[in-house]
């Protein structure tokens, strides 16, 4: 077997292993018990591009080094590290969603003060709501217009929002939909204030952890730059990894780095409080 043929085979095998690790990582990162949010076309296309880039990086790494394990680790790093080292877009999205929920709650309070019914208030504020939750509210209005009862439709909205602060607001609305509530406007005003305080608190916590995220970027970036520099500038130093035993050792080293990077990412991540409001089983099945 010639060297180029061996490199091609190693690249193909490395791509297969990399895809397997990517799928395992995607499944491992899923949170048990969490209702998945429907993915938009844009996010689906973005995920597909990330998979293609990760596989391509794995194939190129396998072709350059001839290492099956190296190809798999390179693909896995290309999939996971941009999210770890880049800006925390998920946190920003959650903050925007909480503030949008607070604004919508205030709009409901003001609309109800004009003697409108709850269902009419929900429909009236749908197209005026902040952009972060407008699509979810549009779906809610469509369900109500199609004849679905308000309380089950609100429970489904809570699942689509997927936010504990949203659960508080939706729970108050569900109770008001099932039985008359005299002071619903006051309750909604208090919930809106609590939502804004929650968003402000999370922003303060995030600012406090910004230094930790910067340290993580420096550690991970330095480690990867050192590894790439050795592969490109001093290939003879890594000849020991060309054997089967060397690949096993590389796999162990890679596993240690994966655990270390995951631990670092865990330090900088903010845990979300548990949700308490979900759609009724009959509504989920229907």
In three-state secondary structure terms, 20 is: helix
Whole-number Cα distances in Å, 259 to 109, 253, 254, 256, 263: 48, 10, 9, 5, 6
Angstrom distance (rounded) from CA 259 to CA 21: 14
For residue 8, the enclosing domain spans 3-85+210-268
Angstrom distance (rounded) from CA 167 to CA 274: 10
Domain identity same for 256 and 120: no
Angstrom distance (rounded) from CA 156 to CA 88: 27
Domain identity same for 142 and 193: yes
pLDDT of residue 141: 92
Q: Mean pLDDT over all residues of the chain?
A: 77
- Domain C-terminal end among 166, 181, 206: 206
pLDDT of residue 103: 92
pLDDT digit string, tens, across residues 55-70: 888 888 888 888 888 8
Flag whether pLDDT at 178 surpasses 90: no
Domain identity same for 7 and 59: yes
Q: Which long-range contacts (CB under 8 A, 24 or more apart) does 256-259 make?
A: 257/73, 257/223, 258/73, 258/76
Structural domain includes residue 258: yes
Angstrom distance (rounded) from CA 235 to CA 229: 9
In three-state secondary structure terms, 123 is: helix
What is the mean predicted confidence (pLDDT) over 89-105? Answer: 86
Flag whether pLDDT at 265 surpasses 60: yes
What is the mean predicted confidence (pLDDT) over 195-216? Answer: 79
pLDDT of residue 46: 64
Structural domain includes residue 285: no
- Domain C-terminal end among 185, 206, 227: 206
- Burial classification of residue 4, based on how many CB atoms lie within 10 Å of its CB (0-12 exposed, 13-18 middle, 19 or more buried): exposed
Range of weakest confidence among 86-90, 125-129, 157-161, 204-208? 86-90
pLDDT of residue 270: 66
What are the tokens at 236? 């003879």
pLDDT of residue 279: 60
Domain identity same for 75 and 216: yes
Domain identity same for 41 and 114: no
Look at 45 and 53; give whichever has higher pLDDT: 53
What is the mean predicted confidence (pLDDT) over 201-228? Answer: 81
Domain identity same for 157 and 242: no
pLDDT digit string, tens, across residues 234-247: 888 888 888 889 88
Please state the domain count of the chain: 2
Range of weakest confidence among 31-40, 108-117, 177-186, 188-197? 31-40
Structural domain includes residue 38: yes
Domain identity same for 15 and 33: yes
Domain identity same for 199 and 97: yes
């Amino acid at each position: 077997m010639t060297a180029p043929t061996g490199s091609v085979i190693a690249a193909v095998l490395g791509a297969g292993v990399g895809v397997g690790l990517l799928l395992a990582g995607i499944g491992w990162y899923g949170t048990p018990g969490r209702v998945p949010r429907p993915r938009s076309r844009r996010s689906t296309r973005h995920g597909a591009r990330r998979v293609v880039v990760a596989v391509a990086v794995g194939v190129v790494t396998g072709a350059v080094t001839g290492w099956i394990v190296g190809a798999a680790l390179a693909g896995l790093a290309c999939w996971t590290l941009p999210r770890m080292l880049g800006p925390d877009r998920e946190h920003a999205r959650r903050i925007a969603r909480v503030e949008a929920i607070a604004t919508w709650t205030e709009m409901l309070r003001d609309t109800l003060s004009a003697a409108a019914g709850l269902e009419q208030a929900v429909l009236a504020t749908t197209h005026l709501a902040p952009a972060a939750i407008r699509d979810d509210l549009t779906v809610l209005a469509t369900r109500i217009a199609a004849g679905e009862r308000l309380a089950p439709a609100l429970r489904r909205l809570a699942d689509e929002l997927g936010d504990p602060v949203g659960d508080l607001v939706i729970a108050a609305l569900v109770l008001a939909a099932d039985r008359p509530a005299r002071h619903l406007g006051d309750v909604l005003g208090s919930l809106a204030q609590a939502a804004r305080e929650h968003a402000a608190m999370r922003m303060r916590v995030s600012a406090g952890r910004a230094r930790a995220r910067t340290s993580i970027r420096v550690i991970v970036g330095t480690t990867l730059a050192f590894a790439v520099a050795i592969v490109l500038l001093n290939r003879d130093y890594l000849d020991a990894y060309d054997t089967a035993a060397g690949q096993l050792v590389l796999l162990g080293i890679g596993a240690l780095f994966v655990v270390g990077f995951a631990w670092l990412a865990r330090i900088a991540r903010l845990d979300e409080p548990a949700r308490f409001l979900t759609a009724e089983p009959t509504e989920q099945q229907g």
